[in-house]
Amino acid sequence: MTSPLAAFLNLYRERSRLIRYADRLVGSRATGADLVQDVFLRLWERSAGRGYPDPAYVTRSVRNAALDHLRAERLRDRHAEEALPPGAADLEAQIDARQAIALIDTAIRALPERTRHIFLLNRIHGRSYREIGAVMQISSTAVENHMARALAACRAALDSPGTGQG
């Protein structure tokens, strides 16, 4: 019988193959590597000491992470387009809207992983604080606190000097 650490290391040896797989799905090696790293981090956090899943499960997890990433990217693009004024007559308003979206996107990407995940589950996937808390095994109050931090970061990104916002 192999130790939990040995089992994890055996899975981790599949990392290069998984990165290539994720790269094919999302069209970016760097994003693919990030997604694979996130999957391994979740596996480590959730399974430490209890054994690890087989490589097929890890491959499915990477595929699901890639699909979630693509869905969120499409949704971000759609919201970016909807944020632009109809008819796009005012070029300055278009530029301001795009800059605001870029600032918010940067702020969201800079959030700690758990806070970012909670924010995206609520704002992109429409999950309630209670649903998020149940899935992540934290209280609704903790979810609320993460959301407050995420929203404050977005506001701060828009209000920061030199952005032309606020």
Q: Which two tokens stand for residue 27?
A: 């069209």
**Would you state the CATH architecture of domain 84-166?**
Orthogonal Bundle (1.10)
Q: Which of these, 163, 144, 152, lies nearest to 110 by C-alpha position?
A: 152
For the chain, domain boundaries: 1-77, 84-166
- Could you please report the per-residue DSSP string of 95-163? HHHHHHHHHHHHHHHHS-HHHHHHHHHHHTT---HHHHHHHHTS-HHHHHHHHHHHHHHHHHHHHSTTS
State if pTM tops 0.85: no
Q: What pLDDT digit, counting tens, does each position of 106-123 carry?
A: 999 899 999 999 998 898
Q: Looking at the predicted structure, is the pLDDT value of residue 34 above 90?
A: yes
Cα 59 to chain centroid, rounded = 18
The upper half-sphere exposure of residue 165, i.e. CA atoms within 13 Å in the direction of its Cβ, equals 18
